[in-house]
Amino acid sequence: MIRHAALTHPGLRRENNEDSLLCLPEQGLFVVADGVGGRAAGEVASALCVEVLAEHAARLAAAVAGWSRRRDWQSRDGVLRALEVACLEASARVYEEGERTHRRGMTTTLVVALVGGGSAFFAHVGDSRIYLLRDGLIRQLTEDHSVVNEMIRNGAMSAHDALRSQYRNVITKAVGIKPNEKPDLLSAEILPGDRLLLCSDGLSDPVDADEIEEIACQNDVQTCGQQLIEAALRAGGPDNVSVIVVEPEATPQTEAARARAQIMQDLFLFRDMPFHTRLRVSRICEELFFSPGTVLVREGDAGDSMFVIVQGSAVVTSGELRLARLGAGEHFGELGLLESRPRTATVAGESWGSAIVIRRSQLVEFCEREPALGNAILWRLLATLGERLQAANSLAVRATGELGG
């Protein structure tokens, strides 16, 4: 059984609690919804949202079970698509109920954690949050869909000023604001000792991240949840406050998971991206295992994929000539993400190992789905290829000069 705790409190300034929670540990499903739209309407929106997610619980659990059996790109993407379908139906149902009952504008925020098989899958709409507690540090996995967060990202407001802004509670996305509000989707591997925290802004607004970190990294889940509620109340309890604390099952591949996380952090395409952003772009990455002699790419074949060695090593050859040896963190084939050209060399496994594969079709689909983030990846790719082209030209010029001399 997954260890978890769920608590909610109306706060000190409101009589009504418009938050709704869902905990189905047998299906690995945990949800916080913070209703928006005033008394009764917010309650209805959040309750209906949670009801729809509960209806999808069996299908979501089945998708996670499929991922646990196969652990390939298709099954992982299938879980995220199933989550998206559930959230889209929730948005449609809340929107339709608002229209039917003349409560237009009745909406709710939503954060979902779906856990199983050593992984967690997340969906997010609005300014409720999901945090990951790992190695004594707190990491925010969601990015607030709010006016002040947009202003912070655009450089129009500092994080300090945002705390006092009159727009701090104005959200830009919500379940039910339109019938097809798409959620942000991401996934993460769970390492030993990891803890998840889902909360409404009744916690994250009045209590700073350092205090949340200090409380959430200690104690058992029930005590942790209670202390988080108390921290919000000590800070004035300006809003309804809800928390779900979850300790999911860790992945059995701890060493490999840490290696993959480090590769994602260091790879030029994703370097310097926030942790939560790397989790979103990991959707385009699949894992390939190889053994000694396994051919990853063959000279002369058309290529449409980039490879990054995670564990083990591979050798690069052209004909009978050995050109290079590739170890963890080294990559090849990035030009294939832009166009199909015959591979100029063969790359084969030298030992047992694994690699991350990014295929052009998956990158294109991601760019269409998340244009801003996709374009950032493409610019990084073009910049790196440009630098390599300049370096190659410099070498050619130098070599020509030496030959001429």
Q: pLDDT tens digits for 387-403?
A: 877 776 776 667 666 65
* pLDDT at res. 193: 93
In the predicted structure, residue 108 carries a pLDDT above the cut 90: yes
CATH topology of domain 3-251: Phosphatase 2c; domain 1 (3.60.40)
Region 259-280: mean pLDDT is 91
Region 224-238: mean pLDDT is 96
CA distances from 253 to 16, 71, 186, 250, 402 (A): 45, 11, 19, 9, 52
Give 211 or 154, the one with higher predicted confidence: 211
255-400 has the same fold as 3-251: no
In the predicted structure, residue 143 carries a pLDDT above the cut 60: yes
Interacting residues of 5 by C-beta distance below 8 A, sequence separation 6+: 221, 222, 224, 225, 226, 243, 244, 245
Euclidean distance between CA atoms 264 and 310, whole angstroms: 10
What are φ and ψ of residue 37, in 5° steps? 125, 10
Virtual torsion, Cα 108, 229, 6, 213, nearest 10 deg: 100
The tens digit of pLDDT for each residue in 284-326 reads 999 999 999 999 999 999 989 999 999 999 999 999 899 999 9
Residues constituting the chain: 405
> Are 212 and 203 within 8 A, CB to CB?
yes
Interacting residues of 206 by C-beta distance below 8 A, sequence separation 6+: 232, 235, 236, 237, 238, 239
Interacting residues of 88 by C-beta distance below 8 A, sequence separation 6+: 180, 181, 182
Domain boundaries, the chain: 3-251, 255-400
What is the overall mean pLDDT for the chain? 90
pLDDT band at 404 (very low <50, low <70, confident <90, very high): low
Judged by average pLDDT, the poorest of 47-51, 312-316, 337-341 is 337-341
Euclidean distance between CA atoms 71 and 50, whole angstroms: 28
In the predicted structure, residue 21 carries a pLDDT above the cut 80: yes
Virtual torsion, Cα 220, 224, 225, 229, nearest 10 deg: 160
In the predicted structure, residue 18 carries a pLDDT above the cut 80: yes
Q: Which amino acid is at 98?
A: G
* pLDDT at res. 155: 65
Output the six-digit token pair for 160. Answer: 């300090």
Q: How many whole angstroms from its chain centre is CA 281?
A: 7
The tens digit of pLDDT for each residue in 52-86 reads 999 999 999 999 999 999 988 899 999 999 999 99
In the predicted structure, residue 211 carries a pLDDT above the cut 90: yes
* pLDDT at res. 396: 65
Query: Residues of the chain with pLDDT > 90: what percent?
Result: 72
* pLDDT at res. 88: 97
* pLDDT at res. 148: 73
> Are 126 and 91 within 8 A, CB to CB?
no
Superfamily of domain 255-400: Jelly Rolls (2.60.120.10)
Region 161-183: mean pLDDT is 81
